[in-house]
Structure 1
Amino acid sequence: MKSITFRGLRHLLWPRGTGSSDGPRQLRPTAYLDGLRGFAAFLVYIHHHELFAHGLKEMKVFESGFGYEGEFHLATFFLLRNFFTGGHLAVAIFFVISGYVLSVKPLSLIHAGEHLKLFDNLASAFFRRWFRLYIPLIVTTLVYVTTLSVFGIWHVQYEVKETLGGELWNWYIEFKNFSNIFKEGWLSVSYNGHLWSIPLEMRGSIITFTACIALARATHKARLLCLLALVYYFIYIVDAYYCALFMAGMLQCDLDLLAKRDGYFPPWLRRLEPYKTFIFYHLFLIGMYLGGVPSYSQDLNELRASPGWYYLSYLKPQAVFDFKWFYLFLAGNMLVACVPRIAWQRRFFESRFCQFLGRVSFALYLVHGPILYTLGDRVYYAVGWHRPAGELHYAPIAHWGHVLPLPQTGPLGLEIALLLPQLVLLPLTLWVADLVTRMVDEPAVRFAAWMYKRVQQDGEAEPKPVVLAPLTRVD
């Protein structure tokens, strides 16, 4: 192993002249996926702020279908509802994109027959994946709980411990359980419940890498059929929607790579190419519709009572417990497939704004909740939103209550009292996300690569395996 020096590690994590704003960067072929991921993270931000500000009273209205129980609002209208409560759809898109981008390089090597390079690539990706996902999580949550304890900041959903030592011990207990992705049951942390998708992201990554290994020597046709079988298994046989989303992303990636090679793309799909504009515009509309599936309840009868969902409710597989994930599986795949094939969508997601969101998307996902639960809670309380837990529960911050009341006029989800606070909360959240990206997320990526290099044998020849001589029978 190579020697480790502090100076070398420091320059690796924070190299000079490599800031994210150092001149224009040439877009990658899959830059639209970065922009789509970033915009999806922005939808998560909007979703959580809408529900938090309006509280439990309007939460059912937001996440129920348009016209359910006589409630008709622009924020719940078909297709448009995704821009108000599209957080669930965003998570499905995250998983499809992850399955796609994690398999791009391995599948390229499989197509080229470079199986030794494939092993090296997968070994590196597998080693680095946990560090890439969990180091930013460790740093942000540790800084967060320490700040809550040191400054005595009241938290709406988390009871801050009396001492810093008690807080750090609780953080350790929660994180060690959270980091075990194979632990049974729901994995989350009490001070940032939005992190529930990270263990699923890690599990899906493992399944994607494993599928690349298992299907490395399969024929193109056999590999596509096996991926289809895995998708069917995860969504129709067992309740593992996130695994199906990863496998579907890998399937899309394989088809995109095969489409660039003559003679390998499925002929029946090639014959549809003259109609691709018609097909993908309709897939986009269908995906947007399905992405707005009512999600307030897991009761299938409530879905059937929602206008426009009665007949669609019968498509739900028996294996899926929370029905929304089946429709989000379909929607997420349709939307990811449409973006590169609809010109204006691709240009939008390759724009500077979406590329910035894509660069800070992971950090935005990590920090928007803590900011919402602390400063956001106080700001919304100050401008006049009534708290769902009642005024008595909010006694520790009673001095914030309605100090600057704003009119709650306007369509549901677009009230003045909701939009004006965004002049403070949104720029602050994006700035913190950018800071965390520069100081934590990007260094974590480089640190993981640096660690992997340190555990390698520096290109030394590996010892040949010992071959045992056959046993000689002695009579």
Structure 2
Amino acid sequence: MFRPSFLPKQNTGGHRKLRKTAYLDGIRGFAALMVYCLHHQLWAHAFYDGSPALENTFGYNGKYYFAALPFIRTFFSGGHFSVSCFLVLSGYVLAVKPLQLMRQGEYVLLGDNVSASLFKRWLRLYIPIIIVSFMIMCTPHFFGIHMSFEPQKSWKDEVWKWYCDCKNMFFIWDTGNRVINDYHPHIWTIPVEFKGSITIYTALMAVSRMTRDGRLVALCVLWYYFMYITDGSYYCMFVSGMILCDLEMRAAEGTLPRWMRSLEPYKNVIFYTLFTVAILLGGIPSHSIEVSLLKSSPGWYYLAWLKPQAVFDFRWFFLHWAAVFLVASVPHIQWAKKFFETRFCQHLGRISFMLYLMHGPVLWLLGDRLYCAVGWTIPGHHILLMPWWVGRFPLPQWGPKGLELSFIVCQMILLPVTMWVAEVMTIVVDDSAIKFTAWLYTTPQEMQA
């Protein structure tokens, strides 16, 4: 627990045995790290032109920041790109086993698999959230430490508000896309994950008896519906992941559509192009959802006209393509695949859920105070709520935007602490939730037997 799992253990030889799709875990883990980077950049620079500088393009309003350069900007403001990757990856991973069973004609096992997956999915996603949000909710009342929310007058009132926030988030059939939890705003993606999971399992069962080509056509029609007829860009990403999974399996079988097979001689050029376009589109200006912002951003004017009428938030249309192109291209680019299969990226993949859930609490609990202490002060926030920390250890803000000395020094503390907390919570909370969910599903069956 105290030794990061990505560090090699002593007296172990040979190479690690990786699953065929291990690179997907690496992408998910690295994406979680990019979410961490985005939230820390925006929090520390909130009073210092943070979001307008880091979430707009290079040259916007005559400002030329290194952190806003194409490709480079992914490491500073790639958190939205990461979310789209999460959704595409979920669609891919959730579809693997059902698609394999379809190909084998094992329809009884397919029903068993989808049944088990549906039962476990809610518990798998929400048990860690219940635990983490409860801990956050208790912190101001038990320890007198200010977090990111305005506490209620008593712990009893806080528990009731926490309960109301949670039950509203658990009800996924709300017509809105986002359900914000005051105790943990970052978990707005979890209801989307659960709704997307139901979309995947329902679609798979609906097309399970179709031919290969019929299944592909049906899934493409569903993709078109989500992207161009209704404002379902989040769920379009799940369907895209499912389609990618199906195409990868067909490629391994040699049963791709003829027009795709005809492109085989050009696959290196195609996949390198897709990878490059993915990184460029992943840097979509994200400071505002107004299309006028996109049209006024250098290099994005003509692309802005591609946004479908049905998509309200233009960012997710472009981020959808960015994530799809990335996930599609990585397994066919040797150096990229090897990077995401490194021990470090695999470690990030293992702790990715807890890294996503815990980087916020660590930021609010420790990061907020460290940034305040070295000089990243937000007057209306720090001076009122934590005056002792204001300028306690002042450091110069030398360096380019996003790489200032005082920011880097804080990261030398915050990143290791966050990684360690995420690993501990993975072992204590996430792994336990998985085991409990499996036990809860199998125990009634054993009792019946």
- How high is the TM-score relative to the length of structure 2? 0.95
CA distance in 2, matches of 1:46, 1:372: 11
Q: Does 2:142 match 1:153?
A: no
Partner of 1:187: 179
Residue 318 of structure 1 aligns to a residue in which SS? coil
Partner of 2:433: 444
Deviation track 1:393-440 (CA, whole Å, cap 9, x = no partner) reads 632310100111111111111111111101111111111100110001
The answer on 1:362 being equivalent to 2:361 is no
CA contact (8 A) 1:47 1:87 kept: yes
Q: Quick one: distance in 2 between partners of 1:177 and 1:459?
A: 34
Is 1:221 aligned to residue 210 of structure 2? Answer: no
User: 2:275 — aligned with what?
Assistant: 284
Equivalent residues of 1:149, 1:162 under 8 A apart? no
Select which of 131, 135, 143 maps to 2:135.
143
- Give 2:152's aligned amino acid: K
1:421 matched residue in structure 2: 410
Among candidates 302, 309, 323, match of residue 293 of structure 2: 302
CA distance in 1, matches of 2:174, 2:308: 26
Partner of 1:332 in structure 2?
323
Which residue number corresponds to residue 99 of structure 2? 107
Note the alpha carbon deviations across 1:62-84, whole angstroms, 9 max, x for none: 11111110011111111211110
Distance 1:163 1:150 in 2: 11
The CA deviation at 1:97 is 0.3
Count of aligned pairs between the two proteins: 439
- Residue 48 (1) aligns with residue 14 (2): no
- Could you tell me which residue of structure 2 aligns to residue 253 of structure 1? 245
Q: Whose helix fraction is larger, Structure 1's or Structure 2's?
A: 2
Q: 1:271 aligns with which of 253, 256, 262?
A: 262
> 2:280 & 2:108 partners in 1: Cα distance?
44
Confirm or deny that 1:83 pairs with 2:53: no
Bigger Cα Rg? 1
How far the C-alpha of 1:276 sits from its partner, in A, is 1.0
Deviation (angstroms), 1:306? 0.7
User: How much does 1:392 deviate?
Assistant: 6.3
Distance in 1 between residues matched to 2:305 and 2:441, nearest whole Å: 49
Aligned to 1:404: 393
Corresponding residue of 1:456: 445
Q: Matched residues in 2 for 1:386 and 1:301: separation?
A: 32
**RMSD over aligned Cα, in angstroms?**
1.7
Aligned to 1:7: none
Specify whether residues 353 and 392 from structure 1 end up closer, same or farther in structure 2 by C-alpha distance, changes over 3 A only: closer
Asked if structure 1 preserves the Cα contact closer than 8 Å seen for 2:41 and 2:50, the reply is no
Corresponding position of 1:467 = none
Of 363, 371, 392, the match for 2:362: 371
Which one-letter code corresponds to 1:338 in the other structure?
S
* Counterpart position of 1:14: none
C-alpha distance in 2 between matches for 1:368 and 1:281:
32
Work out the CA distance in 1 between the residues paired with 2:413 and 2:304.
41
TM superposition shift of 1:165: 1.9
Q: Which residue of 1 aligns with 2:190?
A: 198
In 1, the alpha carbon distance for the partners of 2:252 and 2:415 equals 41
CA, structure 1 residues 392+227, in 2 after alignment: closer, same or farther (shift >3 Å)? Answer: closer
Moved more, 371-380 or 84-93: 371-380
Query: Whole-Å Cα distance in 2 between the matches of residues 276 and 149 of structure 1?
Result: 58
Whole-Å separation in 2 of the counterparts to 1:457 and 1:49: 47
Structure 2 counterpart of 1:39, which letter?
Answer: F
- Where in structure 2 are there 5+ consecutive unaligned residues? none
The TM-score normalised by the length of structure 1 is 0.90
Q: Secondary structure at the match of 2:46?
A: helix
AA aligned to 1:147 is T
For residues 348-382 of structure 1, the C-alpha deviation after alignment (integer angstroms, 9 at most, x for no partner) is 10001000000000001001111111211110000
- Of 236, 250, 261, the residue aligned with 2:228 is 236
Q: Which sections of structure 1, spanning at least 5 residues, go unmatched?
A: 1-18, 461-475
In structure 2, distance between residues paired with 1:172 and 1:380: 32
Runs of 4+ in structure 1 off by over 3 angstroms are: 19-25, 391-394, 457-460
Judge conservation of contact 2:184–2:360 (CA < 8 Å) in 1: yes
Identity %: 47
- Structure 1 range deviating more: 450-459 or 167-176: 450-459
After superposition, what is the alpha-carbon deviation per residue over 1:171-204, rounded to whole angstroms, capped at 9, x for unaligned? 1111111111112333121121000000000000
Whether contact under 8 Å (1:132, 1:448) holds in the other structure is yes
- SS of equivalent to 1:143: helix
Of the candidates 301, 310, 321, which is equivalent to residue 319 of structure 1?
Answer: 310
For 2:351 and 2:386, locate their aligned partners in 1 and report how far apart those are by CA, in whole Å: 31
Letter in 2 for 1:144: I
Where do residues 124-139 of structure 1 align in structure 2 (5 Å cutoff)? 124-139=116-131
Partner of 1:31: 22
Please state how far the C-alpha of 1:323 moved relative to its aligned partner: 0.4
Work out the CA distance in 2 between the residues paired with 1:273 and 1:406. Answer: 55
8 A Cα contact 1:188 1:196, kept in partner: yes
Provide the C-alpha distance between the structure 2 equivalents of 1:110 and 1:459, rounded to a whole number of angstroms: 28
Does the 8 Å contact 2:372/2:382 carry over to 1? no
Contact 2:358/2:422 (<8 A) preserved: yes
Kindly indicate whether the alpha-carbon contact (under 8 Å) linking 2:34 and 2:79 is maintained by their aligned counterparts in 1: yes
2:333 partner amino acid:
I
